[in-house]
């Protein structure tokens, strides 16, 4: 790469050695390539500073920009998380379209585009992350920026028939086509993107993987994100968190780990587990579901409703089936340190990863990495997680069907060791090889080669 790599994400980590899978991957990628990482400084600022300001330097530089209270409300809580997030997760019914949201979103993108345009040198390559910045390339192109610009969408691409629910539906395709590479988690996402363009403009996905539209060519690229697989495995081996769980020796641990979000299907998961408990309460093996779910976006109304529904469901199942020495569902609503999380995954007999819609779901990959290959636990995975495309050896379930989930739980909890080992070995092979470094390399290689094709 002759130019610098410039990465843009909604939030920028402020600590010198950031933690957390994606953040570490981007940090390592920039450390190797040099460049700049730009993101917002976090929640609203009462007195926001003007423009970009440097917050760290070293192998690469980090710059932040502040959001005013109005910007945070309209751009972040509003358009990004109350309009785009529900729509892309097939919950158009939860969209909250309000005056000022779209304007606020576009204004933040345009303000950032102007700041970026001042920074850029002709050979620099931009890599933009996620739905907060969909129009950024369009804004940059309108300012005359011709650099290579890649985008990665961490969440699912919406189905074409849902897109008209977006008041800015007519602009949406133009936002996408302004990128050179539009990275998506799965082949299914690429197909949905291609269908949208075919329906709208009558142009198919070319045999070269490009879509040519409105005088531009862009590549929708399936590039499934991975984790630091060997690092996570080592953390799980070293962690003692699993030993801290007090459970009777004949009881098995079923684990759920998710941000508290309606897309994660937690109410349906509790209902599926409740069905299992109802069927099996007189019989072994008795299982306890430990659900760890730190709150997120609590000031968005749909999240408050979901939290109440979850409290009610857990309370009702525990009240109905709990015994003096056994609580069916243990529910912890806070962050757990990553190393402890790794130890809990390793201790669990089963992990329930049952989102109703999910770009990838890193928990599924972390669970596989954390297992003891000689006595691995079983992954129950929703058909609607992006991870299901790569992880066919999991028990794939329909998260809306409580009975199917209960049957999968019984199968997982009674699965012979040989079958568990065989399934885990195949899953681990994928998680280990298509890890986070593979992901950054694949994305950047496509962005660079697409750029060269354009020049030629
Ligand atoms: P998320 O929606 O946040 O990510 P996910 O992929 O599961 O979903 O990642 C969650 C991360 O947070 C995991 O690394 C997990 O270990 C961690 N985590 C969850 N609960 C935790 C807890 N209680 N304590 C500590 N850590 C916890 C978005 C998209 C996904 C996509 C990712 C990456 O919504 O679809 O897979 O980005 O692209």
Instruction: Using the Cα atoms of residue 68, residue 70, residue 73 and residue 76 in order, give the sign of their dihedral.
Output: negative
Buried-state track 99-138, b at ≥16 Cβ within 10 A, e below 16: eebbebbbebbbbbbeebeeebeeebbbbbbbbbbbbbbb
| Domain locations along the chain | 5-226+437-452, 229-433
Say how many CA atoms lie within 13 Å of 185 toward its Cβ: 23
**Widest CA span in the chain:** 73
Beta strands at 216-222 and 211-213: parallel, antiparallel or unpaired: antiparallel
Does the annotation count 154 as an active-site position? yes
Burial of 272 per CB tally in 10 Å (0-12, 13-18, 19+): buried
Report the C-alpha gap between 185 and 389 in whole angstroms. 10
Q: Does 432 have pLDDT greater than 70?
A: yes
Q: ∠ at Cα 80 (218, 209), nearest 5°? A: 15
Q: ∠ at Cα 99 (46, 83), nearest 5°? A: 90
Least confident of 12-21, 205-214, 229-238, 239-248: 12-21
What average pLDDT score do residues 97-102 get?
Answer: 97
Q: Any bridge partners for residue 218, and if so which?
A: 211
Q: How many CB atoms lie within 10 A of CB 435?
A: 23
Burial of 404 per CB tally in 10 Å (0-12, 13-18, 19+): middle
Rounded to the nearest angstrom, the distance between the alpha carbon of 361 and the centre of ligand 1 is 6
At 151, which helix (H) or strand (E)? strand 148-152
Give the pLDDT score at 218: 97
Of all atoms in ligand 1, which is nearest to the CA of residue 21? 14
Mean pLDDT score of the chain: 93
Beta strands at 125-129 and 61-65: parallel, antiparallel or unpaired: unpaired
Report the C-alpha gap between 450 and 211 in whole angstroms. 12
Q: Does 13 have pLDDT greater than 50?
A: yes
Buried-state track 410-421, b at ≥16 Cβ within 10 A, e below 16: eebbebeeeebe
Of all atoms in ligand 1, which is nearest to the CA of residue 332? 23
Give the pLDDT score at 245: 85
Among 3.40.50.2000, 2.30.130.10, 3.40.50.300, 3.40.50.11900, name the CATH number for the domain at 229-433.
3.40.50.2000
Q: Confirm or reject: Cβ of 260 under 6 Å from ligand 1.
A: no
452 pLDDT tier (thresholds 50, 70, 90): very low
At 277, which helix (H) or strand (E)? helix 266-280
Q: Does 455 have pLDDT greater than 50?
A: no
Does the annotation count 132 as an active-site position? no
Closest CA to ligand 1's atom 14? 362
Q: 5-226+437-452 and 229-433 share one CATH topology?
A: yes
Q: Confirm or reject: Cβ of 227 under 6 Å from ligand 1.
A: no
What average pLDDT score do residues 331-337 get?
Answer: 90
Pick from 59, 66, 25: nearest CA to 42:
66
451 pLDDT tier (thresholds 50, 70, 90): very low
Burial of 299 per CB tally in 10 Å (0-12, 13-18, 19+): exposed
Q: Confirm or reject: Cβ of 229 under 6 Å from ligand 1.
A: no
Q: Does 153 have pLDDT greater than 70?
A: yes
Q: How many CB atoms lie within 10 A of CB 311?
A: 12
Of all atoms in ligand 1, which is nearest to the CA of residue 353? 7
Of all atoms in ligand 1, which is nearest to the CA of residue 154? 38
Kindly write down the DSSP assignment for every residue of 381-433, as one continuous string. Answer: EETTBGGGGT-TTSEEE-TT-HHHHHHHHHHHHT--HHHHHHHHHHHHHHHHH
Tokens of 411: 């199968």
DSSP 350: E
Give yes or no for a contact between 157 and 180, defined as CB atoms under 8 angstroms apart.
Answer: no
Say how many CA atoms lie within 13 Å of 317 toward its Cβ: 27
Tokens of 427: 């899953």
Give the pLDDT score at 214: 86
Which own/partner pairs from 50-54 qualify as long-range (CB within 8 Å, at least 24 positions apart)? 51/115, 52/115, 52/119
Give the pLDDT score at 43: 82
Catalytic residue among 73, 129, 154, 424: 154
Pick from 380, 378, 385: nearest CA to 424:
378
Give yes or no for a contact between 292 and 332, defined as CB atoms under 8 angstroms apart.
Answer: yes
Report the C-alpha gap between 341 and 366 in whole angstroms. 9
Q: Does 229 have pLDDT greater than 80?
A: yes
Q: Does 20 have pLDDT greater than 70?
A: no
17 pLDDT tier (thresholds 50, 70, 90): low
Highest average pLDDT, of 152-156, 213-217, 337-341, comes from 152-156
Q: Does 4 have pLDDT greater than 80?
A: yes
Q: Does 412 have pLDDT greater than 90?
A: yes
Give yes or no for a contact between 448 and 221, defined as CB atoms under 8 angstroms apart.
Answer: no
Q: Any bridge partners for residue 289, and if so which?
A: 254, 329
Beta strands at 61-65 and 53-56: parallel, antiparallel or unpaired: antiparallel
450 pLDDT tier (thresholds 50, 70, 90): low
Classified by CATH at the fold level, domain 5-226+437-452 comes out as Rossmann fold (3.40.50)
Give the pLDDT score at 286: 81
Alpha carbon 73 to chain centroid, angstroms: 22
Closest CA to ligand 1's atom 18? 258
Q: Does 158 have pLDDT greater than 90?
A: yes
Catalytic residue among 66, 130, 358, 435: 358
């Amino acid at each position: 790469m002759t130019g610098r790599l410039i990465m843009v994400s909604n939030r920028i980590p402020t600590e010198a050695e950031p933690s957390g899978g994606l953040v570490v991957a981007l940090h390592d990628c920039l450390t190797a390539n040099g460049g700049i990482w730009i993101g917002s400084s976090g929640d609203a600022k009462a007195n926001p500073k003007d423009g970009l300001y440097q917050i760290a330097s070293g192998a690469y530089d980090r710059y932040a920009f502040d959001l005013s209270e109005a910007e945070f409300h309209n751009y972040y809580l509003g358009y990004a998380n109350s309009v785009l997030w529900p729509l892309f997760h097939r919950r158009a019914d939860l969209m909250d379209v309000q005056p000022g949201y779209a304007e606020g979103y576009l204004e933040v993108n345009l303000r950032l585009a102007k700041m970026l345009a001042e920074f850029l040198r002709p050979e620099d390559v931009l890599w933009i992350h996620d739905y907060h910045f969909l129009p950024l390339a369009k804004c940059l192109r309108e300012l005359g920026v011709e650099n290579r610009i890649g985008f990665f969408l961490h969440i699912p691409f919406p189905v074409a028939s849902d897109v008209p629910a977006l008041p800015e539906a007519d602009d949406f395709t133009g936002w996408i086509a302004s990128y050179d590479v539009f990275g998506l988690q799965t082949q299914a996402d690429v197909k949905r993107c291609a269908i949208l363009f075919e329906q709208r403009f009558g142009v198919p996905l070319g045999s070269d993987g490009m879509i040519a539209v409105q005088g531009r060519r862009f590549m929708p690229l399936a590039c499934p994100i991975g984790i630091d697989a060997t690092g996570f495995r080592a953390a799980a081996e070293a962690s003692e968190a699993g030993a801290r769980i007090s459970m009777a020796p004949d009881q098995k641990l079923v684990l759920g780990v998710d941000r508290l979000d309606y897309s994660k299907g937690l109410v349906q998961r509790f209902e599926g587990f409740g069905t299992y408990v109802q069927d099996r309460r007189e019989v072994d093996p008795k299982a306890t579901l430990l659900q760890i779910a730190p709150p997120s976006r609590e000031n968005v109304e749909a999240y408050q409703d979901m939290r109440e529904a979850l409290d009610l469901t857990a309370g009702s199942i525990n009240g109905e089936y709990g015994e003096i020495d056994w609580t069916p569902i243990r529910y912890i609503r806070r962050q757990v340190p990553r190393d402890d999380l790794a130890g809990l995954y390793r201790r669990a007999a089963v992990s329930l990863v049952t989102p109703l819609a999910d770009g990838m779901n890193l928990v599924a990959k972390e669970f596989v990495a954390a297992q003891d290959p000689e006595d691995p636990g079983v992954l129950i995975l929703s058909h609607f997680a992006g991870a299901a495309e790569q992880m066919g050896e999991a028990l794939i379930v329909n998260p809306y069907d409580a009975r199917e989930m209960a049957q999968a739980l019984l199968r997982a909890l009674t699965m012979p060791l040989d079958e568990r080992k065989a399934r885990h070995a195949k899953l681990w092979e994928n998680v280990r090889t298509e890890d986070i470094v593979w992901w950054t390399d694949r994305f950047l290689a496509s962005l660079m080669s697409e750029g060269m094709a354009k020049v030629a």
